[in-house]
Amino acid sequence: MTEALSTLPMFGQVKNPGYEYLLGIYWMKEAQMFSSSEKTRYYLPAKALLSACLAIDGYVNTVGRKVDPQWKLINEDTTHLKERLTRIYHTLNLPLDINQGIWGKVLLIFRLQHNLSHFKLADAYNVKEDEVPPIFKVIAQSYPIRMTHAIAEEAIELLVSISE
């Protein structure tokens, strides 16, 4: 875990909401290793992906508040992640290729999160395998918890490093 911002629930005087979601991914990763339940096969990777998106979102907003004195003028709930990242990088006079590298991966998991939002996560826990919605299977196969966790950590570490 990142030593500076991501290991602290507080960032200066600001509570960092992304921290709790990041901790949740650690728990899910461990739970999946010790669970033989077929139900967790699709449920935990989807839940980890949602948690990764919430963690990244929390860190983006925390870093944005730290580096941009005008951050309060944007609506964090409705302003797209792409716009918020662009604003942070612009404020710091840093180049950003939003569709490449870690940010390209982040945007992809945010798209999956959006697709996942059409389903009730709890429903995936209580269905037979042949009834699991395809999006849950895609996430379990293409974005296992360890990969989602790595994407979240890399994005958060980058955010923390550029904000210091």
3-state secondary structure labels for all residues of 118-145: CCCHHHHHCCCHHHCCHHHHHHHHHCCH
Q: In whole angstroms, give the CA distance from residue 140 to residue 152.
A: 16
Q: Supply the DSSP symbol for 79.
A: S
Which pLDDT score is estimated for 113? 92
64 pLDDT band, cuts 50/70/90, is very high
**Comparing 28-32, 53-57, 58-62, 95-99, which segment has the lowest mean pLDDT?**
28-32
The kind and range of the H/E element at 30 are: helix 17-34
Residue bearing the bigger pLDDT, 73 or 40: 73
Q: Is the pLDDT of residue 7 over 50?
A: no
Q: Is the pLDDT of residue 28 over 50?
A: yes
Average pLDDT over residues 15-29: 82
pTM: 0.84
